[in-house]
């Protein structure tokens, strides 16, 4: 019986193994290191000793801390980034109502909604660039200047008086700075956590939930007391504090990786699960935030006191806190897509039902259930992508997904606003938005089926 032929590679880290001569070289990646059989390893060692050649050390898989002070400080810093970016953007519902009633009352709701939709979309759109820069090691280069831009944009929004000024400062500037900051807050978690990764993502997402709960109430209460300009300045000082904390605590752990494929790796779309998941994110954002954007204005249109209706946005964001944390624990046990699909289905059902509920008590119930379900969606958004490739390429894949789904975030609220203008009410808006989220559920189910061959079983 002859031993399997084995030859030495001229470069360390690449080994030729196989059952026949001429087998192709295989380069082990960071996450999946091949371990040779004991007989093959012994033979290789004897050959190296006979020829006096140094034996290349086998590559070692990275040891994820999955906890500890340094890792949780990174999570705390990412939470601050989430609060300062997505948390502030989630307060848009209060701005939409205030602008419709006062500063921009001559503009249509769909026109004003473009400001908010720009913010939502630009939180995700820079992900293609920021994800690639993160993989190359430029974390500090991104979050420092972006933090400065974010604070300046908030203070400039306080000085705005016309629609185009709000569009440039609140829509473009805050949106772009939020996008540069938000993507690294997610991708850096993959350096520190593996088994508890979904829980860590959930804790980071709590930041946006806290921001979306506290900031709308603060803005609504402060405007009558100190005026719009000083309200935005106070918001600027709050965000300045959280961004300083984030810059001091957030840090990468793994070395930069110059993976192949360029800025936009089209090869990733050869994976059917990844392609279907990206498509599902686009459809989700065509309808997911419609309820959060218009639930306040819709309640006022039904005759509910504006001093009560504005609490609906904060109630939804507070409920999302439960969804973000609980979904993280569930995803680590059951798999992220197994948790995302039912929660997203629940969000679709609430989006369908919201315009048909005429009472404030009923709207509170809708806000609670919708907030919990949508919170789970946002919390677990990057988790399935982590299972669809190498950790070294995780930043780029997340960035590609975020940039693609920005299309839905950009066009969803204006389409809903246009439907509202054409129909004169919110019933058709709910049907449109709920249908888009339901399509997203079906595409997620397709992503799981193509990855596992199973729909109702299997951890994925």
> pLDDT digits over 180-195, tens only?
998 888 778 878 877 7
pLDDT at position 391: 62
Q: Give the count of beta carbons closer than 10 Å to the beta carbon of residue 36.
A: 15
Q: What percent of the chain has pLDDT over 70?
A: 83
Q: In this predicted model, what pLDDT tens digit does every residue of 142-193 receive, in sequence order?
A: 899 999 999 999 999 999 999 999 999 999 999 999 989 988 887 788 788 7
pTM of the predicted structure, to 2 decimals: 0.69
**Rounded CA gap, 122 and 115, in Å?**
11
In this predicted structure, what is the pLDDT of residue 392?
64
How crowded is residue 360: how many other Cβ atoms within 10 Å of its Cβ?
A: 16
How far apart (Å, rounded) are the C-alpha atoms in residues 141 and 152? Answer: 18
Taking the mean position of all CA atoms in its chain, how far away is CA 176?
15
- Residue for token pair 């829980």: 199
Do 130 and 399 touch, CB atoms closer than 8 A? yes
Measured CA to CA, the distance from residue 414 to residue 186 in angstroms comes to 27
| The pLDDT value given to residue 259 | 61
Per-run averaged pLDDT (10 residues), the chain, 460 residues: 40 37 37 38 41 41 73 90 90 86 85 86 82 80 92 94 93 92 83 79 83 88 92 95 93 73 73 90 90 83 83 85 83 87 93 90 93 86 78 74 84 85 88 94 92 78
3-state secondary structure the chain: CCCCCCECCCCCCCEECCCCCCCCCECCCCCCCCCCCHHHHHHHHHHHHHCCCCCCCCCCCCCCCCCCHHHHHHHHHHHHHHHHHHHHHCCHHHHHHHHHHCCCCCCCHHHHHHHHHHHHHHHHCCHHHHHHHHHCCCHHHHHHHHHHHHHHHHHHHCCCCCHHHHHHHHHHHHHHHHHHHHHHHHHHHHHCCCCCHHHHHHHHHHHHHHHHHHHHHHHHHHHHHHHHHHHHHHHHHHHHHHHHHHHHHCCCCCCCCCCCCCCCCHHHHHCHHHHHHHHHHHHHHHHCCHHHHHHHHHHHHCCCCHHHHCHHHHHHHHHHHHHHHHHHHHHHHHCHHHHHHHHHHHHHHHHHHHHHCCCHHHHHHHHHHHHHHHHHHHHHCCHHHHCCCCHHHHHHHHHHHHHHHHHHHHHHHHHHHHHHHHHCCCHHHHHHHHHHHHHHHHHHHHHHHHHHCCCCCCCC
The set of residues, in sequence order, having a beta carbon less than 8 Å from that of 154 and lying 6+ positions away, is 88, 174, 232, 235, 236, 239
The pLDDT of residue 302 is 85
Token reading at 220: 């609504």
* Cβ neighbours, 10 Å, residue 347: 30
* Domain coordinates in residue numbering, the chain: 1-52, 69-452
pLDDT at position 262 is 64
What's the fold here for domain 69-452? Answer: Growth Hormone; Chain: A; (1.20.1250)
Determine the Cα–Cα distance for residues 151 and 173; give it in Å rounded to an integer: 10
Tokens of 395: 């930043």
């Amino acid at each position: 019986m002859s031993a399997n032929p084995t030859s030495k590679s001229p470069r360390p880290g690449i080994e030729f193994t196989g059952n026949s001569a001429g087998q192709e070289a295989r380069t082990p990646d960071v996450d999946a290191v091949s371990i040779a059989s004991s007989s093959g390893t012994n033979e290789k060692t004897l050959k190296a000793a006979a020829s006096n050649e140094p034996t290349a050390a086998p590559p070692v898989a990275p040891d994820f801390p999955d906890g500890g002070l340094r890792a949780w400080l990174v999570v705390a810093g990412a939470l601050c980034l989430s609060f300062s970016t997505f948390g502030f953007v989630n307060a848009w519902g209060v701005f939409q109502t205030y602008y419709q009633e006062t500063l921009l009352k001559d503009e249509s709701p769909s026109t004003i909604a473009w400001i908010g939709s720009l913010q939502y979309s630009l939180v995700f759109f820079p992900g293609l660039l920021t994800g690639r820069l993160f993989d190359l090691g430029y974390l500090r280069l991104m979050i420092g200047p972006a933090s400065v831009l974010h604070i300046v944009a908030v203070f400039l929004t306080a000085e705005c008086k016309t629609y185009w000024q709000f569009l440039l400062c609140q829509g473009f500037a805050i949106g772009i700075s939020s996008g540069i900051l938000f993507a690294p807050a997610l991708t850096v978690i993959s350096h520190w956590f593996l088994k508890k990764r979904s829980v860590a993502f959930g804790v980071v997402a709590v930041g946006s939930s806290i921001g979306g709960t506290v900031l709308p109430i603060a803005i609504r209460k402060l405007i009558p007391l100190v005026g719009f300009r000083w309200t935005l300045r106070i918001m600027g000082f709050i965000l300045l504090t959280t961004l300083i904390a984030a810059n001091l605590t957030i840090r990468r752990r793994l070395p930069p990786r110059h993976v192949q494929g360029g800025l936009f790796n089209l090869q990733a779309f050869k994976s059917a699960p990844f392609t279907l998941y990206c498509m599902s994110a686009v459809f989700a954002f065509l309808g997911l935030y419609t309820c959060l954007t218009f639930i306040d204005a819709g309640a006022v249109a039904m005759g509910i006191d504006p001093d009560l209706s504005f609490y609906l946005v904060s109630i939804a964001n507070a409920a999302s806190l439960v969804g973000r944390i609980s979904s993280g624990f569930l995803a680590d046990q059951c798999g992220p897509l197994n948790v995302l699909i039912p929660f997203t289905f629940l969000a679709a059902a609430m989006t369908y039902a919201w315009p048909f509920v005429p009472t404030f008590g009923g709207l509170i119930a809708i806000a609670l259930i919708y907030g919990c379900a949508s919170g789970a969606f946002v919390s677990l958004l990057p988790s399935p992508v982590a299972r669809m490739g190498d950790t070294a390429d995780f930043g780029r894949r997340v960035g590609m997904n975020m940039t693609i789904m920005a299309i839905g975030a950009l066009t969803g609220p204006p389409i809903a606003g246009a439907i509202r203008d054409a129909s004169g009410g919110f019933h058709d808006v709910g049907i449109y938005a709920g249908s888009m989220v339901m399509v997203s559920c079906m595409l997620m189910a397709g992503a799981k089926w193509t990855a596992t061959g199973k729909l109702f079983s299997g951890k994925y």
